[in-house]
Amino acid sequence: MADTAATGIRRISLVCVPTPDQDKAIGFYESIGFEKRTDTPFGGGYRWVEVYPPEGTAGIALAPPRPGTEVRPVETGITLTTSDIDATHAALKSRGVDVDAEVSRMGGPVPPMFWLRDPAGHSLMVVEQR
C-alpha cells in the first residue's frame, strides 16, 4: 500500500467542469438534487461555483472556461449513485433532463446505469448502488 504521508493526498474534493453559462448550470444541477455550496467572485468578473450532491463531500466546480477557449462537451467520468435506478431515470426524464432513452442492464458485476447530459453537453453516469 502506498504511503500517503509522502504526498499528503487523502481524498477527491472537486472535479472541475468547464461551464460557459454558470447560472444555467447551477439551475440544472439544483434541478437534479445538487446544492450550491460556493459562489464566489474572483478576478476579472469571474465566479467560482461549487455544487454537491446533498450527502456528498466531493463536488463539481462549475468553472468558466479559460479566456479564448471554447467549451466542447466531454464525457466527464463523473459517476453519480442512486439506490433505485429506474425511479431516478423516470424522475430526471420527467423533469426534462437529457437522459438516455433507457437504463442499460449489462448483467454480472456491472450495475444498471444510464447517462445524462448537462446544459453544456457534458455527460455524467448514474449507476445503481444498493
Domain boundaries defined on the chain: 12-128
Distance separating alpha carbons of residues 51 and 40, to the nearest angstrom: 12
Q: Which three cell numbers stand for residue 48?
A: 467560482
Residue with cell 442512486: 82
The CA distances from residue 33 to 17, 30, 89, in Å, are 18, 5, 13
Helix (H/G/I), strand (E/B), else coil: 22: helix
Distance separating alpha carbons of residues 80 and 16, to the nearest angstrom: 15
Q: Are 58 and 12 in contact (CB under 8 A)?
A: yes
Report the share of the chain in percent with pLDDT over 90.
80
Give the pLDDT score at 126.
97
pLDDT at 76 over 70: yes
pLDDT at 4 over 80: no
pLDDT at 3 over 70: no
Provide the CATH topology of domain 12-128.
2,3-Dihydroxybiphenyl 1,2-Dioxygenase; domain 1 (3.10.180)
pLDDT digits (tens, 9 = 90+) for 79-93: 999 999 999 999 999
Specify the DSSP element, H or E, that contains 10. none
Closest CA to 83 of 53, 108, 50, 57: 53
Average pLDDT, the chain: 93
pLDDT digits (tens, 9 = 90+) for 12-48: 999 999 999 999 999 999 999 999 999 999 888 899 9
1 pLDDT tier (thresholds 50, 70, 90): low
The CA distances from residue 4 to 10, 13, 14, 27, 83, in Å, are 7, 16, 19, 37, 32
